[in-house]
């Protein structure tokens, strides 16, 4: 088992390497003159020269790459051209917001998706399953921004039960300690603010989680159906076990495997989707920051987001692989 983990980690190294090259190229190989593109309208001769030396743009490419690697490994992801603050610290402030949104969406997708999938499998070829399939279809066909805007319109504008956007009522002031709004509200004991923050989280989480919900539902349903037709399920019934036991120990225990894998893969999609969701709901997170950065040609910011999101995705995939091996005794032994 330990060897399997090490093998997987080693397999990930070339990908990390390739990723770093791609991101290096993103800035150092910008079409045209990188320095001018980076500075955009802020370009002055002194600043341009400064950027050039900072990035080593006059040196040979491989030297630039080594310089870049060194900087990244030291946590130097460049500075934002807008406010000249280090990108990494700006990222750290906004990242918790994205994490909260992503976790909320994941909770929604898994919490609703798995039961829905099981329900669909149990009622296969009947009305219940048909409805589940429709939900699944809509989930993948309705883009996040369309769903988000629609939810906003129905619940915020018409029914007025939930807030339109933002992470917290602007009138409430909470000191930013961890930058996790849910934690920060609890840290100062402001229960009302905590609830308010949760209310702000609901619509964005649903919008972001819609696609993973659809996929998890589909996979769970398929996995349960597949496993239900396996011989060992028939054996279990022939032994006289209760249907409940057959369901839990024999069907679900085996159906979990592909479902868990899929959940892990959805994390990447969630991170990507966060970009759009944060824009629709004016959510204070890395995604919205990145979109603004693109419009401002703030390339260091965009690069850092891509790098960190990709890293997270790779790590999650690694964890999923190891988790799968753990759950499936055929690989473990």
Partner 1 sequence: MPRPQTLPARPVATRATRGLWGDALRRLLRNGPALVGLFFIAVFVAAAVLAPVIAPFDPLAGKLVDRLQPPNAVHLLGTDLQGRDELSRILYGAQVSLVVGVVSVLMALGMGGVVGAAAGAAGGRLDNVLMRVVDVLLAIPGILLAIGIVAWLDRGLPQIMLAVAATNAPIFARLLRASLLANRDVDYVTAARSIGASKMRILLRHMLPNSLTSLIVAATLALATAIIDVAGLGFLGLGPPDPRTAEWGTMLTDATQFLRQAPYLIFFPGVAIVISAIGFNLLGDGLRESLDPRLRR
Partner 2 sequence: MALLSVEDLVVHFRTHEGTIYAVNGVSFALDEGERLGLVGESGCGKSVTNLAIIGLLPKPAGRIEAGRVVFDGQDLTRLSESDLREIRGRDVAMIFQDPMTSLNPVLTIEEQMVETIQAHRRVSRADARTRAVELLTMVGIPDPAERLRSFPHQFSGGMRQRVMIAMALALKPKLLIADEPTTALDVTIQAQVLELIRDLTTGGGTTLILITHDLGVVAGLTQRINVMYAGYIVETATTTELFGRPSHPYTVGLLHSIPRLDEGAPEELIPIEGRPPDMRHAPVGCPFAPRCAWRIDECWVVNPPIRPLVAGTPVVATGPAATHRIACHHPPTAAEAVVGRPLVPGWVPAPPPAGRLDELSAASGGSPVDGPEARS
Footprint on this chain of partner 1 (rule: CB under 8 A): 14-15, 18-19, 22, 26, 30-31, 137-138, 140-146, 149-150, 152-153, 157, 164, 268-269, 271-273, 275-276, 279-280, 290-291, 294-295, 299, 302, 305-306, 309-310, 313-314
Give the one entry of partner 1, partner 2, none that residue 327 binds, where binding means its C-beta sits below a cut-off of 5 to 8 angstroms depending on kind. partner 2
Minimum distance from CB of 49 to partner 1 (Å)? Answer: 23
**Joined tokens for residue 41:** 């309208």
Minimum distance from CB of 257 to partner 2 (Å)? Answer: 8
- Rounded CA separation 165/316 (Å): 29
**Site residues, partner 2 (CB under 8 A):** 125, 229-232, 234-243, 245, 249-250, 253-254, 327-330, 333
Minimum distance from CB of 236 to partner 1 (Å)? Answer: 26
Give the one entry of partner 1, partner 2, none that residue 15 binds, where binding means its C-beta sits below a cut-off of 5 to 8 angstroms depending on kind. partner 1
Give the one entry of partner 1, partner 2, none that residue 295 binds, where binding means its C-beta sits below a cut-off of 5 to 8 angstroms depending on kind. partner 1
Give the one entry of partner 2, partner 1, none that residue 83 binds, where binding means its C-beta sits below a cut-off of 5 to 8 angstroms depending on kind. none
Residue with tokens 């883009």: 143
Minimum distance from CB of 122 to partner 2 (Å)? Answer: 11
**Burial bucket for residue 213 (CB in 10 Å: 0-12, 13-18, 19+):** buried
Polymer length of the chain: 333
Q: Which is nearer to partner 1, 194 or 309 (CB)?
A: 309
Give the one entry of partner 1, partner 2, none that residue 46 binds, where binding means its C-beta sits below a cut-off of 5 to 8 angstroms depending on kind. none
Give the one entry of partner 2, partner 1, none that residue 328 binds, where binding means its C-beta sits below a cut-off of 5 to 8 angstroms depending on kind. partner 2
- CB-side neighbour CA atoms (13 Å) of 240: 0
Q: Which is nearer to partner 1, 194 or 299 (CB)?
A: 299
Q: Which is nearer to partner 1, 144 or 182 (CB)?
A: 144
Give the one entry of partner 1, partner 2, none that residue 242 binds, where binding means its C-beta sits below a cut-off of 5 to 8 angstroms depending on kind. partner 2
Q: Which is nearer to partner 2, 88 or 325 (CB)?
A: 325
């Amino acid at each position: 088992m330990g060897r399997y983990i090490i093998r997987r980690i080693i397999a990930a190294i070339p990908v990390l390497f390739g990723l770093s090259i791609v991101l290096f190229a993103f800035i150092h190989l910008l079409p045209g003159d990188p320095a001018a593109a980076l500075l955009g309208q802020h370009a002055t001769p002194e600043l341009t020269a400064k950027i050039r030396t900072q990035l080593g743009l006059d040196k040979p490419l491989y030297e630039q790459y080594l310089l870049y690697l060194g900087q990244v490994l030291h946590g130097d992801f460049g500075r934002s051209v807008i406010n000249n603050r280090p990108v990494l610290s700006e990222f750290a402030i906004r990242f918790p917001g994205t994490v909260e949104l992503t976790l909320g969406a994941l909770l929604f997708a898994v919490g609703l998706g798995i039961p829905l999938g099981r329900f669909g499998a149990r009622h296969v070829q009947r009305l219940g399953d048909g409805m589940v399939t429709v939900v699944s279809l809509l989930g993948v066909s309705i883009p996040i921004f369309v769903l988000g805007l629609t939810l906003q319109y129905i619940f915020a504008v018409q029914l007025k039960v939930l807030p339109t956007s933002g992470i917290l009522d602007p009138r409430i002031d909470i000191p930013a300690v961890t930058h996790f709004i849910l934690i920060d509200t609890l840290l100062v004991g402001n229960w009302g603010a905590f609830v308010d923050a949760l209310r702000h989280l609901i619509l964005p989480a649903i919008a972001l989680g819609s696609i993973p919900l659809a996929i998890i539902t589909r996979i769970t349903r398929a996995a349960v159906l597949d496993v239900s037709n396996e011989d060992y399920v028939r054996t279990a019934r022939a032994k006289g076990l209760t249907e409940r036991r057959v369901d839990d120990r024999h069907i679900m225990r085996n159906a979990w495997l592909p479902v868990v894998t899929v959940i892990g893969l959805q994390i990447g999609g969630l991170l990507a989707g966060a970009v759009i969701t944060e824009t629709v709901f004016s959510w204070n997170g890395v995604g919205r920051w990145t979109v603004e950065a693109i419009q401002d040609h703030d390339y260091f910011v965009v690069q850092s987001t891509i790098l960190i999101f990709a890293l997270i995705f790779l790590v999650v995939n690694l964890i999923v692989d190891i988790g799968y091996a753990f759950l499936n005794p055929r690989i473990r032994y």
